[in-house]
Copies of this chain bind each other. A is one copy, B any other.
Amino acid sequence: MAVQGSSDILVDELYETTYRLRQFVEARLREKGASVARLRAMRMLASAPKPLRMRDLSEIAGIAARTATTIVDSLERDGLVERVRHPQDRRAFLVRLTDEGLRCHREAEEIDRLALAEATAALNADDRAQLRALLGRIRDHTA
């Protein structure tokens, strides 16, 4: 007797967990005008030694170039980053955090850190290592 609507419960739970975790963090970041996507971009800009090209930002952040444009547009609209023409390559922009962007990033980073600590509070070091190993074995099969 085949079960109808055969779905992979494990994968459903993976989706569900990630979704809820993301909503959990988004809700806290929203109060400060940030978001997971915006924080990710700001984090890359804050930790890079120099202003980044759009291209480099997108690659480091693990998002498509087109998505980086949208995110930087939104951050720029809010005065958190600046686009400056690349002095040597006139096709490119260099993106850097403004002072307000730096402040926003620090606040968002702290909120993120607390939220993730809260969400993963029930996992000790062994649990984390185990979870990472299991996730890694899925990633290896989704090339």
Contact = CB atoms under 8 A, between A and B. Distances in A.
Interface of A: 4-11, 13-18, 20-24, 43-44, 46-47, 62, 109, 112-113, 116-123, 127-128, 130-132, 134-142
Question: How many copies, total?
Answer: 2
Nearest to A6: B113
A115 B128 CA distance: 26
A17 B20 contact: no
Contacts of A122: 137-138, 140-141
Contacts of A4: 46-47
A128 to B, nearest CB: 5
A17 B11 CA distance: 11
The dominant DSSP class at the A interface is helix
B16 A62 contact: yes
Contact of A138 (B6, B8, B9, B123): B123
Given A24-B142, A131-B131, 14 more contacts: A8-B112, A10-B128, A10-B132, A11-B120, A13-B136, A13-B139, A15-B18, A17-B142, A20-B139, A119-B142, A121-B141, A127-B134, A131-B134, A131-B135
Contacts of A18: 14-15, 18
A105 to B, nearest CB: 9
Contacts of A136: 13, 17
Contact of A139 (B16, B22, B137, B141): B16
